[in-house]
Amino acid sequence: MSDRAADSEPEHGTGHIADEGVFVVGTDTGVGKTVVTAGLTGWLRDMETDAVAVKPCQTGYPPDDDAAFVESICGTADAAVCLERLSPPLAPEVAAREADDDVTLSYESIRDGVADVVAGRETAVVEGIGGLRVPLADGREVIDLVADVGLPALVVARSGLGTLNHTALTVQTLRQRGVPVVGVVLNEYEGATTAERTNPDSIERMTGSSVWPVPPLDIESPDGVIDGLRADLPQSVLRPAIDQ
């Protein structure tokens, strides 16, 4: 599989809030965005880059706390920021409406909050919420935030049967909104089935994006996450963050 990017990809998103970093987006919930975010953030910090992971909104809290996981992997509390935390394990807009207390969730405040964090640090790894069409706030979706923030996107997808359609549509949606695609991570890749073994080449052919299979990582160990990701992704993945 090559490391080429599609020739037709635009150079910037629509918002131009951030110039350095990457937006980790998923084809769905539970595909491994947080592990990839933690690994990238730790990798950048190992390179003495002042990197921070940003979670715009956390639902299902507690027990779900993606920012806390990044902090544990990086070994420091300043490695991650979470802007909003909501208890119901639902899409943010729905979670705010269904929360026991009176919660007002504003798309503008989320967008501006991400911008403030990004502006204050050398580089940022922003983690999405579920997939791109997840309702965020005020009738806006995660894809709107990705486009407005203006960072290139790294897509995280499942490795097995059923991932072709979700991944191709995700890449297509990003490009339609002017978001450059760094590539696709096929998470927890084991090559145990024919679908898994053929998916990387199929996705590369369908999307024109680089595809990197990443095997299951030891998420209990910082080295397992950071070194594991570093072993299977080229440093060019970080290029949007360090070579702009």
d(CA 53, CA 82): 8
196 assigned ligand-binding residue? no
Angle at 166 between CA 164 and CA 158, to 5 degrees: 70
127 assigned ligand-binding residue? yes
31 assigned ligand-binding residue? yes
Identity (one letter) of the amino acid at 74?
C
d(CA 195, CA 31): 17
150 assigned ligand-binding residue? no
188 assigned ligand-binding residue? yes
190 assigned ligand-binding residue? no
32 assigned ligand-binding residue? yes
Residue 194: closest CA among 164, 156, 231, 232: 164
Q: Is 55 a catalytic residue?
A: yes
215-232 CB burial, b ≥16 within 10 A, e <16:
eebebeebebbbbbbbeb
36 assigned ligand-binding residue? no
33 assigned ligand-binding residue? yes
172 assigned ligand-binding residue? no
Chain centroid, CA 205 distance in Å = 22
Chain centroid, CA 43 distance in Å = 15
73 assigned ligand-binding residue? no
Radius of gyration of the chain (CA): 17
Say which of 22, 41, 44, 55 is annotated catalytic.
55
**CA dist 45 → 40, 70, 184 (Å):** 9, 12, 22
The answer to whether the beta carbons of residues 179 and 6 sit under 8 Å apart is no
**3-class SS of residue 214:** strand
165 assigned ligand-binding residue? no
Annotated binding site: 30-35, 59, 66, 127-130, 187-188, 235
| Residues annotated as catalytic (active site), given as ranges | 55
Annotated binding site for ATP: 30-35, 66, 127-130, 187-188, 235
Annotated binding site for substrate: 59
